[in-house]
Amino acid sequence: MSQIFVAILMGSDSDYNCMSCSKTILDKFSIASEVVVTSAHRTPEETRHYVQDAEQRGCELFIAGAGMAAHLAGAVAAHSTRPVLGVPINNGPLQGFDALLSTVQMPPGIPVGTLAIGAAGAKNAGYLAAQILALKDPALAQALKDERAEQAAAVAAKNVAIKER
Ligand code: RP5
């Protein structure tokens, strides 16, 4: 059986700084991933081929980030019934609002789970991917719970520290 993985797609290498945040989270939980530059508009056939091939090789879900008229996540969703998480990227004159609307406004029946604009969204795409995979992986589910406890402890420590300023 092929190893499961998450595909992280981006429309351009100029999206990498943002989308690498998804990979950082997946790496943290030891989730295998592939990083791919492919464009809904510039390389539509390659995008379709990658999605279909990735499914055959064990891709469980897709994270797709793009800027401007960001149709990459939707194009991936058009070719797959695996979950697709979309990250709108601030890579144009409208500060990502264009990408947000392009990613989120999918027609009924072809969903894209759309995250926040930019790095925060890319990080949460990684976390949400982990949470989806954890449905079938108790060790991963426990690792996510442990990380939540660490976050809570960090907030508590900041609450103590701020009183000492
Ligand atoms: C989108 O256009 C890409 O996702 C990127 O955010 C934006 C600009 O691409 P480049 O001109 O930097 O390649 O398709």
From 103, 69, 71, 106, select the one nearest 88 (Cα to Cα).
103
Question: Rounded to two decimals, what is the model's pTM?
Answer: 0.96
Residues 70 and 77: beta-carbon distance below 8 Å: no
- Please give the distance, rounded to the nearest whole angstrom, from the Cα atom of residue 154 to the centre of ligand 1: 36
Ligand 1, atom 6: closest residue by C-alpha: 67
**DSSP-assigned letters across all residues of 48-107:** HHHHHHHHHHTEEEEEEEEESS--HHHHHHHT-SS-EEEEEE--STTTTHHHHHHHH-PP
- Please give the distance, rounded to the nearest whole angstrom, from the Cα atom of residue 13 to the centre of ligand 1: 8
Alpha-carbon gap, residue 146 to 122, rounded angstroms: 21
Helices (H) then strands (E): counts for the chain = 6, 5
- Please give the distance, rounded to the nearest whole angstrom, from the Cα atom of residue 52 to the centre of ligand 1: 23
Per residue in 21-75, pLDDT tens?
999 999 999 999 999 999 999 999 999 999 999 999 999 999 999 999 999 999 9
Average pLDDT in the 11-21 region?
Answer: 98
CA distances from 141 to 21, 24, 29, 146 (A): 20, 18, 10, 9
Ligand 1, atom 2: closest residue by C-alpha: 67
Ligand 1, atom 1: closest residue by C-alpha: 67
Q: Is the CB of 15 under 6 A from ligand 1?
A: yes
Q: Is the CB of 39 under 6 A from ligand 1?
A: yes
Looking up tokens 């609002």 gives 97
DSSP letter for 39, please.
-
Alpha-carbon gap, residue 25 to 52, rounded angstroms: 25
- Please give the distance, rounded to the nearest whole angstrom, from the Cα atom of residue 67 to the centre of ligand 1: 6
Describe the strand order of the beta sheet including 59-67 as a list of residue ranges: 33-37, 5-10, 59-67, 84-89, 113-114
Per residue in 117-157, pLDDT tens?
999 999 999 999 999 999 999 999 999 999 999 999 999 99
Fill in the amino acid letter for 1.
M
Mutate to test the pocket of ligand 1, among 13, 14, 47 (most ligand atoms within 8 A of CB): 14
Alpha-carbon gap, residue 13 to 36, rounded angstroms: 9
- Please give the distance, rounded to the nearest whole angstrom, from the Cα atom of residue 103 to the centre of ligand 1: 14
pLDDT at 1: 47
Average pLDDT in the 86-115 region?
Answer: 97
Q: Give burial (CB, 10 Å; 0-12/13-18/19+) of 88.
A: buried
Average pLDDT in the 1-22 region?
Answer: 94
pLDDT at 83: 98
Fill in the amino acid letter for 27.
D
User: Is pLDDT at 2 greater than 80 in this prediction?
Assistant: no
